[in-house]
Amino acid sequence: MDVIPTTVESFDDRLLLFGDDLLERLATGCKWTEGPAYVPAGRYLLFSDIPNDRVLRWDETTGHVGVFRSPAGYANGRTLDAQGRVVTCEQGERRVVRTEHDGSTTVIADRFDGKRFNSPNDVVVAADGGVWFTDPPYGILSDYEGVRAESEIGACHVYRADPVTGAVEVVADDFVRPNGLAFSPDGTRLYVVDTRRNHIRGFDVDGARLHGGDEVARCTNGQFDGIRLDEEGRIWAAAGDGVHCLHPDGTLLGRIGVPEVVSNVCFGGPKRNRLFITATTSVYTLLFNVNGTRPPYSVAQESPGANLPA
């Protein structure tokens, strides 16, 4: 493990950052890291090395990094559901899947209206078990991060898979390149990145419906990619020059410098105050005074998400 000096900046009194002023580099030598997700039950971090078609695992107790799955369907974003199972977007297989506790795989969604998705990119699970995910074309543009193919749907949407019926519906159809997404702590707001337009939009959540969708923030250095929220509702966004912290009103509150282009972030550790950062060839972490949102299983212990059909 390498230790790298960083800059942790606060630009607003609404965010007073303190903690480590060093980044720990947990892994390196990858081609493009993505999809970090911390699994509390095992105290480990899963992340993707997409072009190498593998998922890696960092063990918090030993510091060991090993291959969790390879080949991995060019897996990208992932999250946990209400039962602590891992839900993953597979760009190569063009589907969203769930890894059961026994290691088997359940397909949550692979088509809409009979047509294959482009390449599901990032995913979140709501407290009611609904699985929300974005579907840009990055995995079908070439064979580098997936399998080159023509789009069957012909557009890039945000979708929701119903936790009871498994039915998939479009919840937002006016994106160019929908990418990272995250719920507010109370689940009443959904933030979605449009990487092509280089902004984050905010929606009001009404069950399975979205309303609004105004621009919340625009990236001024590079592009926004993956996002997560902390327990105060602040947005932590991957950007070209590090990780940006944004107030829900879009104000840039702070920044963590990272020596590589950042793709995604997640909170983890026993207290959810460790920020994990996937950035180009490496994975970094920082321990500080911010706690991430609680996982969905702390909101709904008995989520109907278990009923999603194969």
Q: Which amino acid would we find at residue 188?
A: T
Is 308 inside a domain boundary? Answer: no
Per-position DSSP letters for 25-47, written without gaps between them: EEE---SSEEEEEEETTTTEEEE
Does 307 have pLDDT greater than 90? no
Is 307 inside a domain boundary? Answer: no
Q: Which amino acid would we find at residue 87?
A: V
Q: What is the number of structural domains in the chain? A: 1
85 close to 99: Cβ distance less than 8 angstroms: yes
Q: What is the largest CA-CA distance in the chain?
A: 50
Is 112 inside a domain boundary? Answer: yes
The number of CA neighbours under 13 Å toward the Cβ of 124 is 25
State residue 213's pLDDT score: 97
Is 304 inside a domain boundary? Answer: no
Residue 133: give its domain's CATH number.
2.120.10.30
Q: Which domain holds residue 219?
A: 2-298
Is 303 inside a domain boundary? Answer: no
Q: What is the pTM of this model?
A: 0.94
Is 15 inside a domain boundary? Answer: yes
Question: pLDDT by residue (tens digit) across 54-102?
Answer: 999 999 999 999 999 999 999 999 999 999 999 999 999 999 999 999 9
Question: pLDDT by residue (tens digit) across 211-265?
Answer: 999 999 999 888 999 999 999 999 999 999 999 999 999 999 999 999 999 999 9
Query: What is the rounded distance in angstroms from the CA atom of residue 80 to the CA atom of residue 87?
Result: 6
Is 23 inside a domain boundary? Answer: yes
Token pair, residue 169, equals: 């519906």
Write the CA distances from 192 to 115, 171, 214, integer angstroms. Answer: 23, 12, 10
Is 309 inside a domain boundary? Answer: no
